[in-house]
Structures are given as C-alpha cells and as structure tokens.
C-alpha cells in the first residue's frame, strides 16, 4: 500500500496502533455478535417449532371442519328423529290413555260378567224352582185325574144309591099294600068265621091262606133285611161320599194355591226371560266392545312396529353420535397437546422478555460501538473484508435462491438480509466517498474497485429485486393463508357454537322422558340378556302351554258344536273368542319377536363397541405414526436450523449490529403478531377442548352410572332369586294342600260310592219287597222317609264340606294364578300345571264314574217308570172292568125290578165290586208308593246332577233326560229346555271368556309390572345420575 502524501510517520504509527486496538475491540464485538447469533438461532428454532405446531393446528382445524359437517348432518337427523320421537311420544301417550280407558272398560265388562254369572245362578235357581213346580204340577194333575175318576165313581154310587132308594120305596109301598091286604083279609076271615058255618072248609082255606101269608111274611122279612143291609150300605157310602167331597174340597183348595203359585212363577219366568234378553243385548254390546278392543290392539301393534323402526333409527343416530364423540375425543387430545404448546409458549414469552432486556442492554453497547466502527471502516482492511464478504455474499445468495424457492419460512430472514445488504451498500458508498476525500493518492487504484463494486451492486440490486418480487409473492401467499386461517378460526368459532348447541340438544334429549328410557334400556340390555333369554324360554314354554290349552279348547269347542249345531250365532261367538285368543297368541309371539330383536340389537351394539375399540386402536396407531412423523420433522427442522445457523453466521460477518437488532425487532413483532393470532386460535380451541372435556366428563359419569346400575341389577337378580326360592316353598305348600284336596276328593268318591251302594240296596229292597209293601207300606214308608232325611242331611253336610273345600280350592287356584304371573317361576308352575292336569284327569274319571252311576239310576228309574206304566195299564183295565160291572149292575137292577131272584146275583156282584175297590185302593197305594219312590229317586238324581254341575258345569244336559219322564208337558218343557241349553252354552262361553279375560288381565298385569319396573329403573337411573354428578362436583 502506498501512503498518502503529506502525512507524517508518527501519525501513521499512531494510526496503526489505533487500528490494532480497534482490531481487538472488533474481535470482542465479533464474539458478542457470535453469541447473539446463537441466541438468534435458538429463537429461530423455536419459531420453526411454532410454525410446525401451527401446521398441525391447521390440520386439526380442517378435521374439525369435517367433523362439524358431520355434526350438522347428524344434527339434522337428530332434529328429524326428535320430531318423530315427539310425535310418537304423543301417540304413545294417547295410546296409553286409550289403554287406561280399555282397562276401565274391561273392568266394567268383568263387573257385567259377574252380574251375568249372578243372573245365571238366579236362573239356575229359578229353573230348579220351575222343575219342582213342574213336579208338583204333575202330582196335582195326577191327583186331579184321580179326583175326576173318584167323581165318576161318586156319581155312579149316587146313581146306584138313588136307584136303590127307589127300589126301597117300591118295596115299602108293596109291603104296606100287602100289610093292608093282610089286615083286610084277616078282618074278612074273622067276619067270615063268625058268619059262615062252613068252618072246616074255611079253615082249610084259611090254612092255605095262612101259608101264603107266612110265605109273604118270610119274603117281607127278607125284604126288610135286604132293606136294612141296603140302608147300612147307603150310610157307609154316604160317609165315603162325604169324605170324598171333603177331599175334593181340600184338593181344590190346594189346586187353587198351586195355580196361583204357577201364575206367580210364570210371571217370574217372564221377568227372567226379559232379563235374559237384556243380558243378550249386553253380550252383543260386549262383543262390539271386544271388536273395538281388537281394533285398538291392532293399532297398538302398528304403533309398536313404528316404535321399533324409530328405535332402529335412534340406534343408528346413536352410533353416529358415538363416532362424533370419538372424533371429539381426538380433538380433545389435540387440545391437550395445544395446551402443552401454550405452556411452552408462555415459557418462551418469559424468555423473550428476558432477551428483550438483554437486547436493550446490547443496543446501548452497540450505540457506543457504532462510533468506533465508523472510524474503523476508514481502514483498508475493512474494504478488503468488505470485498471478500461481497464475494462470499454472491455465492451464498445463489444458494439462498434455491433455499428460498423450497421453503417459505426463510422469507423474513431474506427480507432482513436484503435490508442489511442495502445498508451495507449505503455504508460502502459513504465509506467510498470518505476514502475519496481522504485518500487522493489511491483514487485510480480504487476506481477500478469501485467500478467492480458498482457492477456487483447492480447485480445485487437485480437479485434484490428478484428476491423482493419473490418475497412479495410469498407475502401475498402468506396473507391468503392468514385470511384462510382467520376464516377457519371463524368457522371453528361458529362450529364450536353449533357444537355447544348440539351438546345442549343432546342434553335436552337425554333429559327427555322417552330417550332416557331408551338409553337406559340400551344400557340395561347387556345386563338383562340372560334374563331375557330365560324369559324367552319361559315364554316359549307358555306358548306350548297355551297351545295345549288351545288344543283342549278346540276339543271342547268340537263337543260344544256337536251339541249346538242348530245355533249358528253361538258358533260365531265361539269363533270370535278363538280369534281373540289367537290374537293374544300373536301378541305373545310379537313380544317374543321383540325380545329377539332386542337381543339382536344388543349383539349389534356389542359388535359396534368392538368396532369402536378397533377404531380407537387404529387412532392410537395413527397418533403413534403422527408422533413419529413429528419426530422426523423435528429432526429435519434441526438439520435446517443447523444449515440456517451456518448461513446466518456467514451473513452476520457482513451485517452490522443495528441492522440485526432492527431485524430482530421486526421478527419479534411478527412473532408477537403470530403469537397473538395463535393465542386467539388457541382460545377457540380451548373452548372446544372445554366442551369436549364436558362431554368426556358426561360420558365418564354415564359409565359410572352404568356400572352402578349393573351392580344394582345384580342385587335385584339376587333378590329375585330369593323371591323365587320363597315362591318354590309356597309351591311346595300348595302341592301339600292339593294333596289334601285329592284326599278329600277320594273321600267324596268313597261317600258317593256309598251313596250309590245305598241307593242300589234301596232299589233292590224296593224290587223285592213290592208285595210286602202292600201290607206294611206305612211303616216302611216312614222308615224310608227317616232314612232319606238322614241321608239328605249327610249329603247336605258333605255338600257343604265340598263347597267349603271348593272355596278353599278356588282360593288356592287364585294363589296359583298369582304365582303363574311371575316369569321366573315358570318351570315350577309348569310342574304344578302337570300335576293339576293329572288332578283334572282324576276328576274327569270321577265324573265318568258319576255318569255311570247316573246312567244306572236312569235305567232303574226307567224300570220303575215302566212298572208304574204297567200298574196304570192294570188300573185302566180294572176301571174298564168296573165300568162293565156297573153296566151289568144297571142291567141287573132293571131285571131285579121284575124278578126277586136276582138279589143274590146283585149281592155277589156287590161283593165283587167291593173286592175290586179294595184291589183298586191297593193298586192306588202301590202307585202312590211308586210315585214317591220315583220322586225320591228324582231328588237323588237331581242331587247327583247338582254335584256334577259343581264339578263340571258342562254336564247340565242331564236335566233333559230327566224331563223326558213327563210326556204330558213336552211343549212347555221343550221351551224351558231350549232356554236351559242357551243358558248352559252362555255359561260355557262366559267361562271361556272369563278364562280369556284372566289371561288378558294377567298379560296386562305383566305389562304394567314391566312398565313399573322400567319406570323404577329410569327413576333410579336419574337418581344415580344426580348422585354421580354431585360426586363429580365434589371431587372437582
């Protein structure tokens, strides 16, 4: 180097010494700058990390937008489903009201049925009264017939008595005429004896006359005797006639009374007929109500199907909501990560504050050093360093062009570097001017350098313009991205609001009455699967039992149809009952299908839970992959950071401290702006995270509630098992009572056999002692009456005992029906049903035995009736003979008036008549005894019939066969028989209806019990929710 002219050496030496000192200072400053660059590189690393976090947040925002779209779709579906659920809830409430109305109507129908049963009982009593009246009427008619025959006899006797009185008068006249003639003859004889001397001849004549007179006296004595006999007979017949007249008067009074009773009973029968017609009208109304009930049941089935469809839709929406909840959980995880990043930001802000303070101190030092650097830049070393640095800048700027094209993150650094280069150019130009003023001698040499520098500056300005254009493009892109980010943040805020509204709606839906029940059922299905399977088995067994009952009912219906082929209306009623019963079976099958559908839904839910678990595992894998990618990106960022640090070290050699400080300030301002934007975005994300946390807490509370509900159900299962054991004990007690009843039934059978044996003995004795009864009828009848009274008393006692036992048996049956309503004791109940079926089979065998006895009694009764008919034929024959004898008597009476020899014949005929009358009285006594025996047998037969009616009401047709004995009253009896047939069929139908109504009542009771259980479970679930919320609040 050449020194400038006019400068002394001392000054040069001093200048060199100052330059060395300045070099030391420069080294110190360079060390400080190196440290600052390290800090800058650290800040840059953190900046890149924040940018990577920003990218992740943006990716999460995009996911949140997708989730919000899904949530909107789910929200629309949820609104539709909620509207439909509300409509169906209103429909369900209406149907519940209708069900309550139907239950009330059913209760009223049951009361009507009870009244009908009462009326039927009254009708049976009245029919029994009518039968007794018929019996009395038949007796009265028999007595009237007897009285008419007696009246004819009395008339005949009166005619005979009148004829005899006339004969007696004739004989009296003859006797008086003969006595007068005798007196006249005696007077003539006396006169003749006194006057006639021919006494001998006269005496002979007198003797002849006296013989004639004696003969006449004998005949007259005979006639007097006959007259006395006739008078005695007349007196006896007058007494008999008076007795018969008294009897006629008494029997006429009884006949009048019986007529009045018959008229009153006929009025009662007419009233009962009117009641029967009213009851038939009521039965028609009941049938119409049954049809309405069936229509309502069909509507209920339709609503149940619609509810099943809505349940399916609800489960699909629940699955969608669960997927959305999983996505919200992912957002929750992202928000947790963002919270960690926020904590790191806070630490970085604290460090930034400290660094800002250090930067302020360094700015003061830099301001002191700037004055020194202005002197140092006058040196040639600074120029050489500047030249070398410009060359290095060219190479490094070429590298930066490639890096700037690839990465957007170095834009701010390039702007700062460009500004530094511009400042360095201005400084270089100022230094060049200063050097021109100071160094006049080296102008030529430096002119070349200046030209070269100008060229380099032009190139750098061109490159600078390119970089500025690229930077402007990148800034526009950054601005567009910032606008997109702001738009996404606004969308996130709106979607967060919509999510909050959706959560509110979900909370409202959860608080709704129908949805908690469905959720509770959803949660309960996992715990109740086994119970439902057992219930399905029980229901299948019920179906089998009901099918058996249907088979039995079909057999009974076939018998009823065979008995009632003439009544088509009754067939229609039975068909309606069968249809209602089949509808009930269909309802039970539908309930079984619903339970199966519920089981399938539970299986589907389990599959969905498994899928969700798999999805969670896949998400966890994705998170691991993202974490690995994040680690890889962090490593790449560290590499880039190392490269940028190297590049920054090279640039920092050319840069100056104030420019760097300004660049750092601008970068810090940008970072603060970005940090503020990110804080806003993080606030929105925090809101979303808080909402997700709330949802998570709600889900945790639900899980806790479900666990408590599972425990509660286990406790209920244990309690139900204990109840089942208690019910088993009760069943054992009932079986013991049933065994006692069987023993009682065997005792009843033994008594019935004894009664049958006694009746057979009595009948045999009656058949053997018919001849002896004619002589000793009164004594034996008294003894038989006493025996019959004793037997009747014994039978009444046994019937009372049977009634009491039947009442206890009915109570036991009621208990048994109550036990049948429990679903978990179906197996034990099936065993009981089998036992009861065996008992019923035994009872049917007993009924068959009683029927055999009744048939035997019928045969005996028919034999007695045949014997009575034979006796009646004999009586009619004897009456004909009596009539013939009467005719002969009349003929003889006509002949007696002409001839006296017929008197002996008349006496013989009278004796024959008396014998015949005695035989008639004997035959009448026999007929009376036989009629009393027939009545007694009829009473026994009626008693047996009543027993059979109590054991089985379908055996009431036996009364028809008993009523065939009275053939004279067939027309009236046919009408009454028809009424009794209708009543019996109505009773059978009412029994079937009662059985069906009992099944319906049991079904409704089971439904009500299930509803109550559901309500209890829902209430307990709500209480458990409240308790869990309270515990969660206390824990927080």
Read off the DSSP letter of residue 898: T
Encoded tokens for 361: 């101190």
Q: Residue 196 region, left (φ>0) first, then alpha (ψ -120 to 50), else beta?
A: beta
Q: How far apart, in whole angstroms, are the C-alpha atoms of residue 158 and residue 976?
A: 44
Q: Residue 392 domain-assigned?
A: yes
Burial class (CB in 10 A: 0-12, 13-18, 19+), 915: exposed
39: confidence class by pLDDT, cuts 50, 70, 90: confident
Residues 396 and 311 occupy one common structural domain: no
Tens of pLDDT, residue by residue over 909-948, are 556 656 666 665 666 666 566 556 656 655 655 655 565 5
* 280-294, 336-350, 391-405, 596-610: the lowest-pLDDT one: 391-405
Encoded tokens for 720: 């139900």
Burial class (CB in 10 A: 0-12, 13-18, 19+), 173: exposed
CB burial readout 618-643, b (16+ within 10 A) else e: eeeeeeeeeeeeeeeeeeebeebbee
Residues 6+ positions from 329 with CB-CB distance below 8 Å: 692, 696
Give me the pLDDT at residue 281, please.
73
Residues 338 and 385 occupy one common structural domain: no
CB 265 within 8 A of CB 130: yes
pLDDT at 76 over 70: yes
SS3 of the chain: helix, strand, coil, percent, to 5:
95, 0, 5
Q: Residue 185 domain-assigned?
A: yes
CB 989 within 8 A of CB 570: yes
Please measure the distance between the N-terminal and C-terminal CA atoms of the chain and give it in whole angstroms.
Answer: 82
Q: Residue 306 domain-assigned?
A: yes
Stronger pLDDT, 310 or 564, i.e. the higher one = 310
Q: How far out from the chain centre does Cα 803 lie?
A: 36
Mean pLDDT of 35-55: 74
Give me the pLDDT at residue 163, please.
72
Q: Residue 913 domain-assigned?
A: no
Give me the pLDDT at residue 2, please.
43
Q: Residue 694 domain-assigned?
A: no
Tens of pLDDT, residue by residue over 378-388, are 655 555 655 56
Residues 285 and 390 occupy one common structural domain: no
Encoded tokens for 240: 């008999």
pLDDT at 301 over 60: yes
Residues 140 and 18 occupy one common structural domain: yes
pLDDT at 477 over 50: yes
Q: Residue 101 region, left (φ>0) first, then alpha (ψ -120 to 50), else beta?
A: alpha
Domain-terminating residue out of 449, 477, 511: 511
Residues 288 and 389 occupy one common structural domain: no
Read off the DSSP letter of residue 900: S
Domain extent, residue 1036, equals 969-1036
Tens of pLDDT, residue by residue over 137-156, are 677 667 667 766 666 776 77
Q: How far apart, in whole angstroms, are the C-alpha atoms of residue 490 and residue 475?
A: 22
Mean pLDDT of 307-330: 68
Residues 176 and 311 occupy one common structural domain: yes
Residues 211 and 334 occupy one common structural domain: yes
Tens of pLDDT, residue by residue over 46-65, are 777 777 777 776 776 677 67
Q: Is the dihedral of CA 246, 252, 257, 258 positive or negative?
A: positive
Burial class (CB in 10 A: 0-12, 13-18, 19+), 994: middle
Domain-terminating residue out of 318, 333, 360: 360
Q: How far apart, in whole angstroms, are the C-alpha atoms of residue 888 and residue 902?
A: 12
pLDDT at 337 over 60: yes
CB 668 within 8 A of CB 354: no
66: confidence class by pLDDT, cuts 50, 70, 90: confident
Residues 6+ positions from 927 with CB-CB distance below 8 Å: 868, 871, 872, 875
Residues 352 and 394 occupy one common structural domain: no
Percentage of residues in the chain having pLDDT higher than 70? 14
Mean pLDDT of 181-203: 60
Q: Residue 420 domain-assigned?
A: yes
Residues 383 and 291 occupy one common structural domain: no
Q: Residue 729 domain-assigned?
A: no
Q: Residue 245 domain-assigned?
A: yes
Residues 115 and 254 occupy one common structural domain: yes
Mean pLDDT of 270-281: 70
441: confidence class by pLDDT, cuts 50, 70, 90: very low
Tens of pLDDT, residue by residue over 401-417, are 565 556 556 556 655 65
Residues 419 and 350 occupy one common structural domain: no
Tens of pLDDT, residue by residue over 4-28, are 444 455 555 556 556 666 667 667 7
Tally of domains within the chain: 3
Give me the pLDDT at residue 440, please.
46
Average pLDDT, the chain: 62
814: confidence class by pLDDT, cuts 50, 70, 90: low
Domain-terminating residue out of 511, 546, 581: 511
Q: How far apart, in whole angstroms, are the C-alpha atoms of residue 131 and residue 946?
A: 13
Q: How far apart, in whole angstroms, are the C-alpha atoms of residue 235 and residue 233?
A: 5
Mean pLDDT of 622-649: 62
Three-state helix/strand/coil letters over 804-847: HHHHHHHHHHHHHHHHHCCHHHHHHHHHHHHHHHHHHHHHHHHH
Q: How far apart, in whole angstroms, are the C-alpha atoms of residue 469 and residue 491?
A: 32
Residues 89 and 168 occupy one common structural domain: yes
pLDDT at 515 over 50: no
Give me the pLDDT at residue 305, please.
76
Mean pLDDT of 721-737: 66
């Amino acid at each position: 180097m050449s020194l400038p002219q006019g400068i002394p050496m001392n000054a040069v030496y001093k200048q060199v010494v100052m330059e060395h000192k300045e070099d030391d200072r420069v080294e110190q400053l360079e060390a400080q700058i190196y440290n600052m660059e390290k800090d800058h590189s650290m800040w840059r690393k953190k900046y890149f990390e924040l940018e990577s976090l920003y990218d992740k947040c943006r990716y999460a925002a995009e996911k949140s937008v997708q989730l919000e779209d899904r949530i909107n779709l789910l929200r629309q579906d949820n609104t539709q489903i909620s509207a439909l659920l509300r409509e169906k809830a209103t429909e369900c409430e209406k149907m519940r009201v209708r069900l309550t109305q139907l239950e009330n109507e059913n209760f009223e129908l049951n009361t009507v049925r009870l009244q009908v049963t009462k009326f039927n009982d009254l009708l049976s009593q009245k029919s029994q009264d009518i039968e007794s009246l018929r019996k009395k009427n038949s007796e009265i008619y028999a007595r009237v017939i007897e009285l008419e025959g007696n009246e004819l006899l009395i008339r005949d006797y009166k005619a005979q008595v009148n004829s005899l009185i006339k004969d007696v008068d004739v004989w009296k006249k003859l006797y008086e005429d003969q006595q007068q003639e005798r007196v006249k003859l005696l007077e003539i004889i006396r006169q003749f004896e006194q006057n006639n001397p021919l006494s001998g001849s006269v005496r002979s004549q007198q003797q002849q006359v006296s013989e004639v007179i004696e003969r006449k006296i004998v005949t007259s004595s005979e006639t007097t005797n006959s007259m006395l006999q006739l008078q005695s007979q007349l007196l006896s017949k007058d007494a008999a006639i008076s007795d018969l007249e008294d009897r006629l008067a008494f029997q006429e009074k009884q006949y009048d009374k019986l007529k009045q009773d018959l008229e009153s009973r006929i009025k009662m029968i007419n009233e009962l007929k009117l009641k029967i017609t009213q009851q038939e009208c009521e039965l028609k109304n009941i049938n119409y109500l049954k049809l309405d009930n069936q229509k309502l049941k069909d509507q209920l089935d339709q609503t149940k199907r619609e509810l099943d469809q809505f349940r399916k839709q609800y489960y699909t929406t629940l699955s969608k909501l669960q997927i959305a909840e999983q996505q919200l959980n992912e957002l929750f995880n992202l928000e947790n990560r963002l919270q960690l990043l926020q904590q790191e930001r806070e630490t970085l802000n604290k460090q930034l504050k400290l660094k800002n303070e250090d930067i302020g101190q360094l700015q003061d030092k830099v301001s002191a050093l700037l004055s020194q650097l202005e002197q140092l830049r006058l040196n040639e070393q600074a120029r050489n360093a500047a030249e070398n640095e410009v060359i290095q800048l060219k190479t490094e700027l070429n590298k930066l062009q490639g890096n700037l094209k690839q990465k957007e993150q170095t834009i701010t650094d390039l702007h700062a570097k460009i500004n530094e280069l511009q400042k360095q150019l201005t400084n270089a130009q100022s230094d060049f001017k200063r050097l021109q003023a100071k160094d006049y001698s080296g102008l030529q040499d430096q002119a070349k350098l200046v030209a070269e520098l100008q060229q380099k500056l032009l190139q750098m300005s061109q490159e600078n313009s390119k970089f500025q254009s690229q930077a402007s493009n990148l800034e526009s892109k950054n601005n567009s991205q910032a606008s997109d980010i702001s738009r996404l943040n606004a969308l996130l805020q709106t979607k967060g609001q919509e999510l909050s509204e959706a959560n509110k709606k979900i909370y409202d839906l959860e608080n709704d009455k129908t949805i908690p029940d469905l959720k509770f059922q959803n949660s309960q299905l996992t715990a109740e699967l086994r119970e439902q399977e057992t219930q399905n088995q029980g229901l299948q067994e019920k179906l089998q039992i009901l099918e058996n009952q249907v088979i039995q009912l079909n057999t009974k219906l076939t018998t009823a149809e065979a008995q009632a082929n003439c009544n088509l209306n009754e067939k229609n009623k039975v068909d309606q009952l069968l249809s209602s019963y089949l509808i009930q079976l269909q309802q039970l099958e539908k309930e079984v299908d619903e339970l199966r559908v519920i089981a399938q839904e539970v299986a589907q839910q389990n599959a969905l839970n498994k899928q969700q678990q798999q999805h969670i595992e896949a998400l966890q894998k994705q998170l691991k992959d993202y974490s690995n990618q994040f680690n890889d990106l962090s490593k790449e960022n560290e590499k880039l950071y190392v490269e940028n640090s190297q590049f920054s070290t090279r640039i920092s050699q050319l840069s100056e401290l104030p420019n760097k400080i300004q660049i750092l300030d601008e970068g810090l301002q940008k970072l603060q702006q970005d940090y503020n934007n990110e804080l806003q975005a993080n606030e929105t994300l925090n809101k979303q995270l808080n909402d997700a946390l709330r949802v998570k807490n709600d889900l945790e509370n639900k899980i806790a509630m479900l666990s408590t509900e599972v425990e509660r159900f286990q406790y209920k299962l244990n309690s139900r098992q204990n109840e089942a054991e208690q019910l088993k004990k009760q069943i054992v007690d009932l079986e013991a009572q049933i065994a006692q009843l069987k023993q009682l039934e065997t005792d009843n059978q033994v008594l019935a056999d004894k009664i049958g044996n006694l009746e057979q003995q009595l009948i045999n004795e009656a058949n053997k002692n018919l001849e002896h009864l004619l002589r000793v009828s009164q004594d034996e009848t008294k003894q038989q009456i006493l025996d019959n009274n004793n037997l009747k008393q014994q039978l009444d006692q046994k019937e009372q005992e049977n009634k009491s036992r039947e009442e206890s048996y009915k109570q036991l049956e009621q208990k048994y029906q109550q036990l049948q309503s429990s679903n978990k004791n179906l197996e034990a109940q099936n065993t009981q049903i089998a036992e009861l079926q065996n008992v019923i089979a035994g009872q049917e065998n007993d009924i068959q035995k009683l029927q055999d006895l009744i048939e035997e009694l019928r045969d005996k009764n028919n034999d007695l009736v045949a014997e009575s008919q034979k006796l009646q034929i004999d009586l009619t024959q004897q009456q004909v003979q009596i009539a013939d004898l009467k005719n002969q008597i009349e003929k003889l009476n006509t002949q007696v008036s002409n001839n006296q020899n017929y008197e002996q014949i008349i006496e013989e005929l009278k004796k024959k008549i008396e014998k015949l009358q005695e035989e008639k009285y004997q035959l009448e006594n026999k007929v009376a005894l036989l009629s009393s025996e027939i009545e007694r047998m009829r009473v026994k037969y009626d008693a047996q019939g009543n027993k059979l009616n109590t054991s089985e009401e379908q055996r009431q047709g036996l009364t028809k066969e008993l009523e065939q004995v009275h053939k004279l009253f067939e027309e009236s009896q046919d009408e009454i028989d028809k009424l009794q047939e209708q009543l019996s069929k109505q009773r059978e139908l009412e029994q079937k209806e009662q059985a069906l109504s009992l099944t319906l009542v049991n079904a409704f009771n089971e439904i009500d019990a299930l509803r109550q259980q559901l309500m209890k479970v829902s209430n307990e679930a709500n209480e458990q929710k409240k308790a869990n919320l309270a515990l969660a609040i206390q824990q927080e």
